[in-house]
Structure 1
Amino acid sequence: MCGDCGDCGDCGDCGDCGDGEASAARLAAGVPLTAALDVADPHAWLALDAGARLTGRRRTSRLPERTTTTPLPAGSEPLDESRLALALCHRDGRVRERAVRRAAEHPGVLPLLVIRAADWAQPVREHARALLRRLLDVDTAVALTPLILLVGRRARGDAAVGLLGELLHGAPRERLGPLLVHADRATRRFAYRLATEQRLLPADELARSAARDEDAVVQTLCGEAAVAALDDPGAGALGDEVLAALLGARSPRVRAIGVTALRRAGRPERATPFLADRSALVRACARYVVRQHGVDPLPWYRRRCGEPGDPALPPGAAIGLAECGERADAALLWPLLAHPVPGVRARAVAGLRTLDVTDTPRLLPLLEDTAPGVVRETTMLLLPSARSLDPGRLAARLAPDRPRHIRAAAFRLLDAYGGLERLRAAVALLEDPDPRLRFRAEQSIRHWRPSADLPRGHPEAAELLRISRHLFSPREYRGRQWEIGTVG
């Protein structure tokens, strides 16, 4: 808890209370509000609210006595903005209530009025909400939207969010413009929900927003709204622009919306190239569209993968074949393991894993591939059969002069191998220059247990544990010694 009111303890978003204490100290020293904290940052207001209460509870508080005990004058004499801001954050609810009643004198403390509208004390909360309803207009609400949404996460923060919705509902799109491009993700979500509910944005602009925004919620909201807007009268001319923006988006989610919209637009043939998209979601949507058009995608995949020397073969074709093919289609994937494009090789291995086809002798050379993605996919395919591999050949790949991705794959397979080989490999990496490999080796040793085929009292196991004893507490180390039979 940052204070006695309980708000900060359950909101989880008050920011750094240390910064808030510093801001409160500056206000107590008479520094103007705009200089005491970053008034454009909603987290700074929440930190001030929490920090001022925290400072007020400490006996070592450096705030002037007038701030911690009698922060408000008894009558109606003038009250400076800094002192009023501190009073609005005071520990005592009666002080906060009196401060709320005078908040209209200084518009600069309006953000603190938003916070007090979610106050735990009912009188404070009710007076703050009434005053907020009287003072807020559309322009002010736009400026305070990030803070209102942040406070809205609190248990009693819904009133300000509801008032914000009332003020912005029906507002022209020009007023929402700053919110649609705001850096705060929650603010953009809120603004786009309002814009799509009121149909303020045309389909092409929605599609561009879906393709441009990095937030998944905004992408889905705008993408689906753009497709739905194509049904509006007069939107037919925008169809090509909307589809082009959606299909060319970087986000797989947006491309999937665009591919699915091709069926609705009566252009299912345009979904064919997306059968080999790099995203599994987009490939699945493309297969759905072409099937609804009466076309089986499997022959297309077989035809594309049947040309293993084609340098233009997209990697998604290999994994797409496995996603809708049969085990017999693995015959088309094996030649792709020698394709010059690393992505094709990696997706071909992933396709073999999807089809549950493994041929260890043919796959082992890929553990030496120059492409980390190929080695990673091969390792995942070989993990279930790690016990059938030669641990000596794997251990040789742990040498420091080998590329990191090869050494990481070898250790992963030896770790899955288990037994003494796993312990050997992990101890060999304890001095490795790569910190991530060292960490994995340490974790492997900590979780190591002797296998059933390890003879009790095995001297090498005892020596390996001795080398790594710094990873265990004395009690744990003695327990490991007992497990391998070196302590009776």
Structure 2
Amino acid sequence: QEAVRHAARYPGLLPLVVIRCADWAGPVREGARQLLREALDADSASALASLILRVGRRDRGAFGVDVLGQILRRASRGQLAALFTDPDRVVRRFAYRLAVEGRLLRPAELARAAARDEDTVVQDLCSTAALTALGDDEEAYEDVLPHLLSARNPRTRSAGVTGLRRAGWSERAEPFLGDRSALVRACARYVIRQRGGDPATWYRERCTVPDDPETAPGAVIGLAECGNRSDAGLLWPLLTHPTAGVRARAVAGLRTLDCVDAKRLQPLLNDPAASVVRETTVALLPWAKELPADWLLERIRSARPRHVRIAAFRLLDARGGVVGLRAAVALLEDPDAKLRTWAGQSVQRWRPSADVRGREAEVGELLDRSRHLFSDHELRRRRWMVGWDR
């Protein structure tokens, strides 16, 4: 309390005063709040904004946030704009909320901020404010929508696509049906349907020619998102498309339509593209026990590409039983550190299943090879569970 009273003579102590504004002791807290109220101005508020907002999350910390808001509402536009590029996203959110509340930014400026900022909260805040500020002024959309539609982040693009309907430009949403983002594709389908269009027809047209290099991955998965199981006939030929993204989305689309055929997808586990193998693995996980064990075990060898080895091990681990344990133990000394870690975790969570009967000796030997993963007591317990030490 005495230190806070003397801190007024030392501006460098203002950050500590901010912290003491949330102090548990009333006299200390009240003295610090009085000092902060008197010492804080627009320039020091910008410098202390990150700390004030962080302390504001504590009990009794709301006072500093209230004072910060009062100061920044009276600040010039330039002083507030300095916070728009602050590295702390919490500060940027606070500053943009004040700017939207005070209508300090034009719709085009808000649209640029939404397209530029990496924080999803700022993206939503600025894009929504930009479209709200436009109202029914169709000409003003020309200055706003291009920024939103060309943004790298999907949340801002989706806001721009939705804004096309309000602007009366629903036909411009068609190219976004094949966007790489599921959110943007969903918004584009909504806009197209509102003007009486059929997105499924658009998707089918673009998936009809299997070897067309212009086929977009977004169009392939988009067909699965709004089509039906009969559309699987258009996706199967795309598994041999020259573009890896199309092959991967074709697999994902078949899984979405619940049309997975394990035997037809199995060869794709050898695909040179990691994205295709990942999608194939996810699609085949429910059918892991139907895949040939020896074929999968051969693909965890170190000579195979890393993404193929990971996929094979995921499927063997999902298969479980003695085969799963055999695969995990084989990778305990693998040169790949991550595979070693995953294999160790697999061994530790392994539990006996019905296929152990008749293979007790093999399982006991596998557990012995992985004894460094268990205490002596746990190892004896597991050997007893499989009937090796009874």
Give the TM-score, by structure 1 length: 0.78
Q: Distance in 2 between matches of 1:194 and 1:484?
A: 66
Does 1:331 find its partner at 2:239?
A: no
Asked if 1:403 is matched to 2:313, the reply is no
Tell me which of 222, 243, 257 is aligned to 1:355: 257
Q: Deviations over 1:339-358 (max 9, x none)?
A: 00000000000000000012
Which of 472, 475, 486 does residue 377 from structure 2 map onto? Answer: 475
> How far does residue 486 in structure 1 lie from its aligned partner after superposition?
0.9
What is the one-letter code of the residue matched to 2:232? A
User: Which secondary structure state, in structure 2, belongs to the residue aligned with residue 102 of structure 1?
Assistant: helix
Residues in 2 aligned to 1:291 and 1:305: alpha-carbon distance in whole angstroms: 20
1:218 match: 122
Q: Where does structure 1 lack aligned partners over 5 or more consecutive residues?
A: 1-96
Report the alpha carbon displacement of residue 107 of structure 1 after superposing the two structures with TM: 2.0
Give the RMSD, CA atoms, in angstroms: 1.3
**In structure 2, what is the equivalent of residue 107 of structure 1?**
11
Name the SS for the 2:213 alignment partner: coil
Q: Report the CA distance between 1:361 and its aligned residue.
A: 2.2
Rounded Cα–Cα distance in structure 2 between residues aligned with 1:257 and 1:474: 59
8 Å CA contact 2:322–2:355 kept in 1: the answer is no
> What's the CA shift for 1:362?
1.5
> Offset at 1:457?
6.1
Give the CA deviation at 1:140. Answer: 2.0
**8 Å contact kept, 2:138–2:167:** no
1:209 aligns with 2:113: yes
Is 2:34 the partner of 1:140? no
Letter in 2 for 1:120: W
Matches within 5 A, 1:202-351: 202-231=106-135, 236-351=138-253
Q: Which shows bigger deviation, 236-245 or 342-351?
A: 236-245
Identify the match of residue 90 of structure 2 among 180, 186, 206.
186
Q: Is the 8 A contact 2:148 2:157 kept in 1?
A: yes
Q: Matches of 1:251 and 1:144 in 2, distance apart?
A: 29
Moved more, 236-245 or 356-365: 236-245
Higher helix share: 2
Distance 1:188 1:211 in 2: 14
User: How many angstroms apart in 2 are the aligned matches of 1:481 and 1:392?
Assistant: 25
Distance 2:249 2:203 in 1: 13
Contact 1:118 1:151 in 2 (8 A): yes
Q: Which amino acid aligns with 1:483?
A: M
SS of equivalent residue, structure 1 residue 199: coil
Matches within 5 A, 1:364-403: 364-403=266-305
How far apart in 1 are the matches of 2:340 and 2:118?
35
Q: Is the 8 A contact 2:162 2:191 kept in 1?
A: yes
Task: Select which of 122, 125, 131 maps to 2:35.
Answer: 131
Residues 276 and 315 in structure 1, CA contact (< 8 A), matched pair in contact too: yes
**Is this contact kept in 1: 2:107–2:144, CA < 8 A?**
yes
Give the share of equivalent positions with the same residue, in percent.
62
Match of 1:59 in 2: none
For residues 399 and 241 of structure 1, the distance between their equivalents in structure 2, rounded to whole angstroms, comes to 57
Aligned partner letter, 1:148: I
CA contact (8 A) 1:301 1:321 kept: yes
Matched residue type, 2:117: D
- 2:342 is matched with which residue? 440
- SS at 2:355's partner residue? coil
Shift of residue 139 of structure 1? 2.1
1:117 equivalent in structure 2 = 21
Q: Distance in 1 between matches of 2:265 and 2:9?
A: 77
The amino acid of 2:93's aligned partner reads R
- Residue pair 2:4, 2:32 contacting (<8 A) in 1 also: yes
Equivalent AA in structure 2 for residue 324 of structure 1: C
Deviation per CA, 1:441-483: give whole Å up to 9, x if none: 1111111112113215621111111111111111110111111
The CA deviation at 1:431 is 1.1
Aligned positions, number: 390
1:48 is matched with which residue?
A: none
Please state whether the residue corresponding to 1:100 is helix, strand or coil: helix
Aligned to 1:464: 366
Paired AA for residue 191 in structure 1: A
CA apart distance, 1:360: 2.0
Partner of residue 156 from structure 1, selected from 37, 60, 70:
60
CA contact (8 A) 2:268 2:280 kept: yes
Deviation of the 1:398 alpha carbon = 1.1
Show the counterpart of 1:30. Answer: none
1:29-48 aligned at under 5 Å gives the runs none
Partner Cα distance (1:442, 1:194) in 2: 52
Q: 1:393 to 1:456 in 2, by over 3 A?
A: closer
Residue in structure 2 matched with residue 169 of structure 1 by the alignment: 73
Q: Is the 8 A contact 1:330 1:352 kept in 2?
A: yes
| Deviation at residue 428 of structure 1 after TM alignment | 0.9
Q: CA offsets, 1:317-358, max 9 Å, x none?
A: 111101111101000000100100000000000000000012
Shift of 1:108: 2.2
Q: Specify the code of the residue in structure 2 equivalent to 1:463.
A: E
